[in-house]
Structure 1
């Protein structure tokens, strides 16, 4: 038993020493970036054909949490979509029929774990940047009516108050939420955890639940 333990400890020591020596030839900081680029290239090449349009030099970091209705989704040039993103365009649900679209402009960067879902329209301009785990939705399950409350939420029909437009150079902070029917002007900064329920004019900072203007930049 002692001999067997000594044998395995020796093997472990040799493997660890070998890997440690390799780290001088292939440092983690350099190789992690190299493998990241390789995996993004391979994953993007595999999944790009599922979209209506996929722009030049855009990439998806593995892996999507969910991709639904890619034929209704257009990605601009030089966009980056983070890992674990849920990107859904629903053309039908529980017998309902929809004509959805999700359109990204150029140079958009969507943070890890984002959830973007449409039954009507979500349009992002150029240079839109989002933090992690943001929500952009143009729909919800059911409406605020007494009779609807006795229906299980998953069985309630999808309802939309209108599409969402986000103009150029908007920065959306981590865990922020953009609700249906909202138009966000150019250059807006949306604070972390904010919930946007109304139109936001250009060049201002909004924060809070619901989001309100806290500073005008122009």
Structure 2
């Protein structure tokens, strides 16, 4: 289901069962089936040209800016969430503050399947994130990172 405020470039592919709202998709972007991708009128979610989003991925850019660079490959079942914290009760929200910060993914990044990226994270250009990693900070450009939380374990030659 495609909602409102969708800006697309040329040759964009959106597979069945996807839900998109307040997004800007560059030329040649491909989105796998059953993805949920949304920003807000204030924080339009941006995906750069030539990027591929794997099936059943959730990109939540409602509360802050979420930007994915050009030619990125995001694996299946990834979660990118720009706000963290409890949503259940007012008491819990007072005890544990909600963090609302942008997520930025540089150009030419590869994010392995099942990876979670949370508020305030920055993944530098050309980086490779191993599957099922948990990114909660800054990963420098051309890094190989893995784990929970994700730590740099090597460098991508460039």
Interval containing the TM-score (normalised by the shorter chain): 0.7 to 0.9
Gaps of at least 5 residues in structure 1 are 1-42, 92-98
Report the structure number with the largest CA radius of gyration.
1
Q: Which has the higher helix share?
A: 1
TM-score, length basis structure 2:
0.87
Alignment of 1:55-204 (within 5 A): 55-64=9-18, 66-67=19-20, 70=21, 72-90=22-40, 99-118=42-61, 119-142=63-86, 147-148=91-92, 159-204=98-143
Instruction: Supply the RMSD in Å over aligned alpha carbons.
Output: 2.6
Q: Which has the higher strand share?
A: 2
Matched residue SS, 2:138: coil
Residue number in structure 2 paired with 1:34:
none
1:173 shift after superposition: 0.2
CA contact (8 A) 1:83 1:113 kept: yes
CA contact (8 A) 2:128 2:156 kept: no
Residues 117-165 of structure 1 show CA distances to partners (whole Å, capped at 9, x for unaligned) of 011100011001011100111012439xxx41799xxxx99x3341011
Matched residue SS, 1:50: coil
CA contact (8 A) 1:58 1:79 kept: yes
Gaps of at least 5 residues in structure 2 are none
In the alignment of these two chains, the number of paired residues is 154
Misfit runs of 4+, over 6 Å: none
